[in-house]
Amino acid sequence: MITLALSKGRIFDETLPLLKAAGIEVLEDPEKSRKLILPTNQPNVRVVLVRASDVPTYVEYGGADLGVTGLDTLIEHGGQGLYQPLDLNIAKCRMSVAVRADYDYAAQVRTGARLKVATKYTAIARDFFATKGVHVDMIKLYGSMELAPLTGLADAIVDLVSTGNTLKANHLVEVERIMDISSRLVVNQAALKLKQAPIRAIIDAFAGAVKKD
Ligand code: PRP
Ligand code: MG
């Protein structure tokens, strides 16, 4: 049995065409069913639905043989024990720093002020500000980061930006782009050895179906 870990939403939806290229069709719609294990048209392949931030953990410990995860989640996890053969070029967005429109970020950085930064992505944020030489107090949040500068919880946020609509709706502006994000295929290294042929077949089919920019 080959188990593929996916998260609901954009990653699931954008992985379907890649699965199709590998001859795999998921037989149930996660938006309609409460099932967490979804069968496919291939009796030896199943999809498990996990929280996006749990995909690397499932694959690391062998709860799934493969998974699709955002680069953001992968960096925060650390990537240890994971073979990362492919950038799938799906679920694309960017990781950015944003502040209130009336906050003079450049001046704060220039004068060496300490920044209060709220984010779900503490590893990426820490690394980014350390490289810039900016001292930060990190505030860990689990969602709705945009609220932090509006309520005085933080001076800045580090968050994913896709269309920019959420920033705009909350009167925040993007002041730095930290990195481009897309989803990656991750593979359990033991599974790759033990189930080499079927896993290689999936990797190769995905590789052939990845859309280039
Ligand atoms: C993500 C992200 C931003 C927003 C970006 O949040 O954290 O808030 O989407 O998308 P946009 O630029 O197209 O507006 P999500 O809705 O996943 O919720 P969460 O942060 O509360 O988990
Ligand atoms: Mg959000």
Domains and CATH numbers, the chain: 2-91+182-212 (3.40.190.10), 93-180 (3.40.190.10)
pLDDT of res. 213: 86
**How many helices and strands in the chain, by DSSP H and E?**
9, 11
Going from the Cα of 74 to the center of ligand 2, the distance in angstroms, rounded, reads 18
Judge if pTM exceeds 0.90: yes
Q: Are 180 and 92 in contact (CB under 8 A)?
A: yes
Q: Which residue owns the Cα nearest ligand 1 atom 5? A: 161
Contact between residue 172 and residue 100 where contact means Cβ atoms under 8 Å apart = yes
Q: For 3-52, write each residue's pLDDT tens digit.
A: 999 999 999 999 999 999 999 999 999 999 999 999 999 999 999 999 99
The answer to whether ipTM exceeds 0.90 is yes
25 C-alpha vs ligand 1 centroid, how far in Å? 28
- Kindly give the residue spans of alpha helices, DSSP state H, lying in 22-161: 55-60, 71-77, 105-110, 122-132, 147-151
Q: Give buried/exposed letters for 7-36 (b at 16+ CB in 10 A, else e).
A: beebbbebbeebbebbebebeeebeeeeee
Q: Helix, strand, or coil here: 152?
A: coil
Question: Ligand 1 centre and the CA of 152: distance in Å?
Answer: 20
Helix segments in 78-139, DSSP class H: 105-110, 122-132
Residue 160 CA: nearest ligand 1 atom is 2
